[in-house]
Structure 1
Amino acid sequence: MRGDSSGASTPTQQIIFNPTTRPQAPPRHAPQLEHRDDVRCTRPDVHLEEYLDASRADHRSEGRGDHRARADHRPLTVGDIADLVAERPRPGRGWRAAVHRASGGRLNPGESPAEREERELLERIRRPVIGDYRVAVLSVKGGVGKTSTTIGLGATFASLRGDRVIAVDANPDFGTLAHRVPDPNPATVRDLLRAPSTDRYAEVRAHTTQAPSRLEVLGSERDPSISEAFSAADYERTLDILRRHYNILLTDCGTGLVHDTVGAILAHAHCLVLVATPALDGARSAWATLDWLSAHGWADLVSSTVVVVNQLTDAGADAESLRDLFGQRCRAVQVIPHDPHIARGADIDVDMLRPTTRLAFRELAAMIADDFAAPGGRHR
């Protein structure tokens, strides 16, 4: 065999270059480059339908024998789409809001932890009510802030929700609920029961007082001899009228547990708010009330009770120890701090409360609203 003097390479070393061959076109879905404001960026020219078609084709090829995991190319899920289009809640205050405004909305640092907690608290308070929800506010000791708790709680619900909220004075001992709102209506629950018609909301509204918070109040008789005659049957008739027009009903009870009206109130209540003070006698009275309720067939109501510890003075009473104590047998415990606006004994405006007091009432409302749709609770 004659030698090859040209020194040609073996086929494994041979490199063929054909100048007429055009470079391979980029993939159809390759990102296209563009220049904008001297900044080089990529803009993916991918449509969702094309992505899904390609994903289905890949799965068909895998079904024909290629079962290797493809971590680099998986089908688009609903979660992926949600992540792509999700928008952070806009900040409402602080430096985060300043950055958002200054950037014209293009930079959104999101909510601060405090804003997020506030939003989540409001979401709890605004949970929808199925039908109506009835709250009984009770204490067996006078002067513990039962009526102010009723107004503060009701005003919080009414000011933060869009539905109707009413507080009813069922105290037979000269109740003062109507006098904790401005310009009380002289009409009472007795007038409502004597009304020729209560089918329309306007006919009921004529007997109530509406506070600036939108809370409505239905007062009791000012004559003790007449108010004492308010029976369990009267309360049930009142309840039948109000539940057709209101979503949240709060009843300010008297201090006598053995009064037959209190029995009717408890029988129809979804939640009991038991009001106490940090003082030793106030705590003992509240604990004895829970014992009495458990012994007389209201054990299920005790387990759903929310205890409110009212700090009537600025004295540093140990309210937190009561939170631990009552928390062992009740659903929740909330401490309401001392507030001069409440202490003056006149009408209550939630906008005039200290921020800490206003927050405490919101937390109380959220605790109660947690039961609005509880499948295992009394509210069914």
Structure 2
Amino acid sequence: MTPTIDVEITSETTARAILASAEVDPVDLQATETETLEAVVHRFLHSVAKDQNVDLEVVYRKGENSRHLTVLPNGKVEPRTPSTPIPTTAPTAPPPARAEDSSAPPTGPVVVAAEPLMYETQSEVVPHPQTPAPSRPQDPSQTRSRTPQYQGADEAVTGPLEALADLVAAPASPVASDPARLGLRGRLNAAFGLKLVPKEASLEMRLRDAQTIIAGPLPDRALIGVMQVKGGVGKTPLSIALTDSIATYRGSRRVVCADLGEVGGSFPDRVAVPPAHGSDALGLLAEITPAATDVRPTTLRQFLTQQPSGADVVIGGAAAPLGYDQAQALGMILSQHRDLIVADTGNSSLADSWQWVAGAAHVAVIPVPIRTDAAIGAQRTLKAFAAVRPDLLSRTVIVITDGPGDIPEDEHDIVERFSNLAVPVCRMPYEPLFAGGKRIALSQLRRQTRDALTVLASTAIGLMDRAAG
């Protein structure tokens, strides 16, 4: 049985393809800045015919008119019962405003692009331009007798165009032109070998935009502080996972997660690859002589532990917490060798390392489980910012987390409480690795968690543009 696809032109830039024989939902097709609607339709039909290696019967509907075509696996198109004859000569006068008549059926190749639909009777491919080509004298002896003529917008164009470069669109942004991998379009691409791009407002496009922001420029000594004066709210797993997510799009050895919490915290127990004994910030700082202002990269690597994502981690001190000057010196060293520092802080806003992060951070991230005590702790954290860095309040992100013991019915009130403060609020779904106290490896997190981390990372980095100096 020959597959049949019904293509309906729903507007000047959109169409819907119903794959009756494929038993899938209708496919919405849309023109882009670099590709006309007809080109998108042709690419879709050609891909289906090529993938199935069959002659594909197509009903092409535009308004009250319809054309019956057969799309071959090689991309050629044969008319079956066209509603109007294919023109072979140019009319004596161009019909006025015909190019703007949306109800008129196609009279030439359906696709207006460098990859047009072809009729089996053609001797060669003749692109149909969107704008009329300038008329030029032609030598009758050089004109092939079998070359058909196609009606342009205002005049006929005879023979192959010499200036093909004028019809080739500029390279599209990979973010917008890459085939979809998620949702219905992603499943169709995987099933039929298609190259459908995601919809502009889809989750996949939002994630691609977020990835572009994450990989973009950063201010000098960029620092994100994950901070909450309430303990047990998930600062450590969020710090580690956020660093891993950023490293995925910025590259290996470009981001470091620094443990600046209290001694005896869970940081070494939550990273995928734990640091070796003695590889801590205090040991690193001991390598700096009074006359030195930096350390060699080879020396630095002895005290950093690379994770599977390519990010590095460093713990504070195994015997004593870092003082303010020590935290500042550590931040100076790391920022000279890495693009971004993500600091996991402790629970006391009076601690020296907490005070340094609050004073140096470009962005603060506050995790808030759906519990009243966590929300109160977040409010106390904001008050601490107001006392140290009032400007940091405008670059703070609240992250609503989901874990055991949370009260879902309180979520609306908690979100509204912080939304009224004009603070960005992100939502982190339930993640078993976070809740279970296990080691954090980005590849083992659920897809929803990884997507939420990508959005959170782009939100935080996007806020860095507001930082002064």
Asked if Structure 1 and Structure 2 have the same fold, meaning a TM-score greater than 0.5 normalized by the shorter chain, the answer is yes
Match of 1:109 among 196, 203, 219: 196
Match of 1:175 among 237, 241, 265: 265
Aligned to 2:389: 298
Question: Over residues 67-110 of structure 1, what are the superposed CA-to-partner deviations in whole Å (9 max), with x where a residue is unaligned?
Answer: xxxx979xxxxxx9785765843233566467668887xx6432
Aligned residue runs from structure 1 range 1-380, under 5 A: 37-39=120-122, 43=126, 86=172, 88-92=177-181, 96=185, 108-112=195-199, 113-162=202-251, 164-181=254-271, 182-186=273-277, 187-196=279-288, 198-223=294-319, 226-227=320-321, 230-294=322-386, 296-313=387-404, 315-317=406-408, 318-372=410-464, 374=465, 377-378=466-467, 380=469
Within 2, Cα distance between the matches of 1:179 and 1:233?
26
Residues 379, 247 of structure 1: alpha-carbon distance in 2 compared, 3 angstrom cutoff: farther
Alpha-carbon contact 1:304-1:330 (below 8 Å) kept: no
Question: Over residues 261-314 of structure 1, what are the superposed CA-to-partner deviations in whole Å (9 max), with x where a residue is unaligned?
Answer: 3222211111111222221111112112212332x2422111211112222217
Aligned to 2:50: none
Alpha-carbon contact 2:371-2:406 (below 8 Å) kept: no
What is the aligned length? 322
Tell me by how many angstroms 1:135 deviates.
Answer: 1.0
Residues 282, 194 of structure 1: alpha-carbon distance in 2 compared, 3 angstrom cutoff: same
Q: Which has the higher contact order (CA 8 A, sep 6+)?
A: 1
Secondary structure at 2:337 match in 1 = coil
Amino acid of the structure 1 residue aligned with 2:234: G
Residues 191, 300 of structure 1: alpha-carbon distance in 2 compared, 3 angstrom cutoff: same
Within 2, Cα distance between the matches of 1:192 and 1:72?
74
What TM-score do the two structures reach when normalised by structure 1?
0.72
Question: Over residues 144-169 of structure 1, what are the superposed CA-to-partner deviations in whole Å (9 max), with x where a residue is unaligned?
Answer: 11111111111111122226111111
Tell me by how many angstroms 1:337 deviates.
Answer: 2.5
Within 1, Cα distance between the matches of 2:190 and 2:431?
36
Percent of aligned positions that are identical: 25
Residues 297, 359 of structure 1: alpha-carbon distance in 2 compared, 3 angstrom cutoff: same
Within 1, Cα distance between the matches of 2:370 and 2:182?
36
Q: Which has the larger radius of gyration?
A: 1
Alpha-carbon contact 1:271-1:305 (below 8 Å) kept: yes
Tell me by how many angstroms 1:231 deviates.
Answer: 1.1
Within 1, Cα distance between the matches of 2:438 and 2:326?
28
Within 2, Cα distance between the matches of 1:177 and 1:272?
19
Unmatched 5+ stretches in structure 1: 1-23, 55-70, 74-79
Within 2, Cα distance between the matches of 1:300 and 1:235?
21
Residues 316, 40 of structure 1: alpha-carbon distance in 2 compared, 3 angstrom cutoff: farther
Unmatched 5+ stretches in structure 2: 1-89, 94-107, 110-117, 137-152, 156-165
Within 2, Cα distance between the matches of 1:154 and 1:354?
16
Residues 131, 81 of structure 1: alpha-carbon distance in 2 compared, 3 angstrom cutoff: farther
Amino acid of the structure 2 residue aligned with 1:174: G
Aligned to 1:16: none
Tell me by how many angstroms 1:53 deviates.
Answer: 11
Range with bigger deviation, 189-198 or 298-307: 189-198
Question: Over residues 108-148 of structure 1, what are the superposed CA-to-partner deviations in whole Å (9 max), with x where a residue is unaligned?
Answer: 43225343233223223222224331011111111111111
Alpha-carbon contact 1:136-1:272 (below 8 Å) kept: yes
Amino acid of the structure 1 residue aligned with 2:266: T
Q: As a proportion of its length, which structure holds more strand?
A: 2
Question: Over residues 232-268 of structure 1, what are the superposed CA-to-partner deviations in whole Å (9 max), with x where a residue is unaligned?
Answer: 1111111111110011101111211122332222111
Range with bigger deviation, 121-130 or 149-158: 121-130
What TM-score do the two structures reach when normalised by structure 2?
0.60
Within 2, Cα distance between the matches of 1:101 and 1:146?
38
Residues 146, 98 of structure 1: alpha-carbon distance in 2 compared, 3 angstrom cutoff: closer
Residues 40, 314 of structure 1: alpha-carbon distance in 2 compared, 3 angstrom cutoff: farther
Alpha-carbon contact 1:278-1:322 (below 8 Å) kept: yes
Amino acid of the structure 2 residue aligned with 1:252: D
Within 1, Cα distance between the matches of 2:380 and 2:440?
30
